[in-house]
Amino acid sequence: MISYTEQGLMNTAGIFGHSRQLKSLNSLIEKKMIPSSLLFTGASGIGKKTIAKRVIASLFCAESNSPCLDCSNCSRVYSGTFPDLIELEKDDKGKIPVGDRNKPEYGSVRWLIEKLNNSSVSGRYGVIIDGVDTISESGQNALLKTIEEPPMGTCIILIGESKSRVLHTILSRSLHLNFNPLSNDDVKEILKEQDKDGQYKELVMLISGGSVETAMKLMDETVLNSVIEYASWISAAVQSGGELSGDLPDLPKSLSNDFLLAVLMEFYLIMLSGKILSGNEIPKSLLIKDKTAVKKIIKILLAMRSGLDNNMNFKSMIKGLLYSCDQFDLSGFSKPDFTWIK
């Protein structure tokens, strides 16, 4: 258990949503019963890391309404320069590396373990591992001993999108809090605070999936136009019975296939619900009133998500699925057949 200062509950000013999770954390802090290891799971960009930093800041801030967010310690925690804050983040490959046992690279699991073996300046460490579910099984096993026996006063917050990719042994030694996507109103308010505006702001709010990170990307006109162009291409192909018009549009290099699929899925699920059929949030060329056609597109996207997990070619996959969309059985979502991919 971690001992906290006597000032009371954690300062949650400026945090949107997650009232249940914040209530649980505040209850633990108030009772001085917060464990040394916590696991925050949920979709990317919904505020998990913001809350994790707030918890860590409360470890080192001695002011009232801790963390005060104004003192030197709070400022250094938020700027990433506090000496006893250690953060691990995903690398360019989207994973947290394990690191070499003899010479661990900076930002790796073994680098963290080695660093925690040294004395802290304040007498405790605050650790945030953002992407624990991307660490390999061997890396998670290497981390396990530190989670089981952390240095005195250390608080380790593990952040991931899914607990299914976290070892059971780590799960069993951590307090798990699952975070839900933000409401549309919360996303809208955050965009307003960030002074973000655009032609399709309402559409962005709807298709962000409750993720501020996704919404901020979509507020980039180039990104949103690329998504709209892709959706237009798919909509036209399905409505024509799989007849493809031209080649697939190119995506900005900053966008991943996973991001595109997630946003398109939200787009068509909302369209299926009828929320945007009569509005002005999207170009009229994208509107599909035939719900059967929308269901086919959703099935295509679900099949593609499964295919990408098997490292299949994105363009080949979507073209093949669109060609065969007329044969889709919409009574259920059976396992897709990818034998046609070369």
In contact, 44 and 216? CB cutoff 8 Å:
no
Among 178, 212, 237, identify where a domain stops.
Answer: 178
Determine the 3-state secondary structure of 158 from DSSP: strand
Domain-embedded: residue 246: yes
**One domain for residues 83 and 163:** yes
Instruction: List pLDDT tens digits, range 246-261.
Output: 677 777 777 788 888 8
- Supply the pLDDT for residue 46: 93
Domain-embedded: residue 100: yes
Question: How confident is the prediction for the chain on average, in pLDDT?
Answer: 83
Side-by-side strand order, sheet with 155-160 = 85-89, 126-130, 155-160, 37-41, 175-178
Total tally of structural domains belonging to the chain:
2
Domain-embedded: residue 339: no
Domain-embedded: residue 11: no
Domain-embedded: residue 335: no
Give the pLDDT mean for 325-333: 65
**One domain for residues 174 and 246:** no
Q: Residue 158: beta bridge partners? A: 39, 129
pLDDT at 275 over 50: yes
**One domain for residues 117 and 247:** no
Domain-embedded: residue 186: no
- Supply the pLDDT for residue 6: 45
Backbone angles phi, psi at 52, to 5 degrees: -60, -45
- Supply the pLDDT for residue 326: 72
Q: Is the whole-model pTM more than 0.85?
A: no
Among 154, 178, 202, identify where a domain stops.
Answer: 178
Domain-embedded: residue 244: yes
Instruction: List pLDDT tens digits, range 197-231.
Output: 666 778 888 889 899 999 999 888 888 888 888 88
**One domain for residues 162 and 227:** no
- Supply the pLDDT for residue 337: 46
* Structure-token pair, residue 106: 């900076």
Neighbours of 121 (CB within 10 A): 9
Q: How far apart are CA 112 and CA 104, in angstroms?
A: 9
Range of the domain at 148: 19-178
Among 126, 156, 178, identify where a domain stops.
Answer: 178
Domain-embedded: residue 211: no
**One domain for residues 26 and 164:** yes
pLDDT bin (cut points 50, 70, 90) of residue 7 is very low
**One domain for residues 144 and 224:** no
Residue 172 belongs to domain with CATH number: 3.40.50.300
Alpha helices in the chain (DSSP H): 19-30, 48-60, 72-79, 109-116, 137-148, 168-171, 184-193, 201-207, 212-218, 221-239, 257-273, 291-309, 314-323
Q: How far apart are CA 55 and CA 230, in angstroms?
A: 40
pLDDT at 48 over 50: yes
**One domain for residues 60 and 132:** yes
**One domain for residues 305 and 255:** yes
C-alpha neighbours within 13 Å on the C-beta side of residue 200: 24
Instruction: List pLDDT tens digits, range 61-73.
Output: 878 777 888 899 9
**One domain for residues 53 and 133:** yes
Q: Radius of gyration over alpha carbons of the chain, in Å?
A: 23
